Amino acid sequence: MTKNKSKRSMRAYQELYSRFHRLHQLSHLGSMANWDSATMMPSGSHQARADAMAELQVIMHQHVAAPDWSELFDKAREEQLDNWQSANLNEMFVEWQNRSLLPEDLVREKSQAGARCEHAWRTQRGQNDWAGFAENLRPVVELSRREATIRAEARGCSRYDALLNLYEPGMTSETLDRIFGEVSSWLPELIQKVAQKQQSEQFDEPKGPFSIPSQEALGREVMSQLGFDFNAGRLDVSMHPFCGGVPEDVRITTRYDESDFTQSLMGVVHETGHARYEQNLPRELISQPVATARSMGVHESQSLLFEMQIGRHPNFLELIQPVIHKHFGHQPELSLGNLQTLYTRVKPGLIRVDADEVTYPAHVILRYEIEKALVEGEMEVDDIPDQWNVRMKQYLGLNTEGDYKNGPMQDIHWTDGSFGYFPSYTLGAMYAAQQFAAIRRQLPDIDRMIAEGELAPVFDWLKQNIWSQGSCHDTDTLMKNATGEVLNPEYFKQHLESRYL
């Protein structure tokens, strides 16, 4: 009797549950189509795929535009829900609002403009064709501003904050300005100190060629060591490394350079961190918003914990050195000492994805400042190259004048209007340092465990405190439950100083 009453009292919630299950299935198809576009799709198929993806976006938008959604939420709030169901209802409402706010024509136009810009970028970047790229980027920026205006009016915030909230719920540009301002106050001096310290360090670049099949085999072995489930995911190649798909079918990619295996290897470690998070989200609620990653910053914390906290740990490099020798043979440049020096080398460079963890925040702060000004209308697309060069000189002492492919054309994120995404990278580095400090407190013998490949306790901590929590809590609560406090950038600074000084 009680059970039937409970079922009757959750009719609205169950209807919403079913509707979000359908959205998950449609998103699944979309993610696979996006993965195929980046890895296997013939270039001549671009327009057909862009049109199909735009149509899928419209179908999903029409699904959430039904007139009875608001009424269902009102009824569901009166029903008897447990903690996870209540959290799911909250996340459902946020996702519904985010999806339903935009008019259908804007959804279609933005999807098509983004697909055109991204596809053209693949060729234009290699040709250093800023003029061609800018022509495609302008409509993306204009459509993103339209979107930001609609979202800002609904939320009562700035246009940039409205987009930032799509990736970092609860974060504001005011908070970012404070956090990034603090980092900017000590980062240049730290870079200088590390550079002085490393002047006397001798190292040699490994001598290739390193065949792509061997690099792939090495990556797969390390992925297995890190717990990647190949029955629910795969590794492929794309121009820009990423982790996509869905928790039941995670797709990660890397890119290879036969003259240097070190970047692709750490790229694989990085994406494996993303993948482990996805593969361990709450499976019993997998089609629901509460079972998704808490934010892109938290997502990035998992990839950076894998890459920076574990992957570049000297004991982990010692652990995988025999596997490196297995695939590339023995040479002095693959000695443990040389590998450790290579993977902790700090040198300002032009390319964000190749940057060391000390200079990396400068790349993010530069992009954050530019994209915020773009969205707010304080900067135009034609201003980007000069503003990029000014900030590269200011933060890293480098010149990108006329070098667009290694300057403002190097990233894929702006091509589809992903404005508000870049701060997640440095927030993720901070979350990762704070989480690893908490792991170290619980597992004081962590250095020995890494050396012996005893990584299960680390993964168990992450599963219990981060992965299995999905979006049940807001970011501050998630971090406080896991580490004892909300985000504290001091852990990141301590980590960098400890490793590099």
Active site members: 271
- Residue 209: C-alpha distances to residues 257, 259, 261, 331 (Å): 9, 5, 9, 13
The three-state secondary structure class of 408 is coil
Q: Where are the alpha helices (DSSP H) in 169-308?
A: 173-198, 212-225, 262-279, 296-304
* Terminal C-alpha separation, the chain: 67
8 Å CB contact between 334 and 325: yes
**Residue whose entry in the numeric block shows the structure tokens 């993103």:** 144
Q: DSSP readout, 50-83?
A: HHHHHHHHHHHHHHHT-TTHHHHHHHHTTS---H
Distance of alpha carbon 280 from alpha carbon 465, whole angstroms = 11
Sequence-distant (6+) residues with CB within 8 A of 125 are: 133, 404, 405, 409, 410
How many CA within 13 A on the CB side of residue 450?
Answer: 20
Distance of alpha carbon 144 from alpha carbon 140, whole angstroms = 6
H-helix or E-strand spanning residue 407: none
Q: Where are the alpha helices (DSSP H) in 207-258?
A: 212-225
CA angle 86, 88, 91 (to 5 degrees): 115
DSSP 260: B
488: left (phi over 0), alpha (psi -120 to 50) or beta: beta
* Sign of the Cα pseudo-torsion (415, 421, 422, 425, in order): negative
- Residue 148: C-alpha distances to residues 94, 144, 418, 496 (Å): 16, 6, 11, 35
The amino acid at residue 460 is: D
Q: Is 106 buried (19+), middle (13-18) or exposed (0-12) by CB count in 10 A?
A: middle
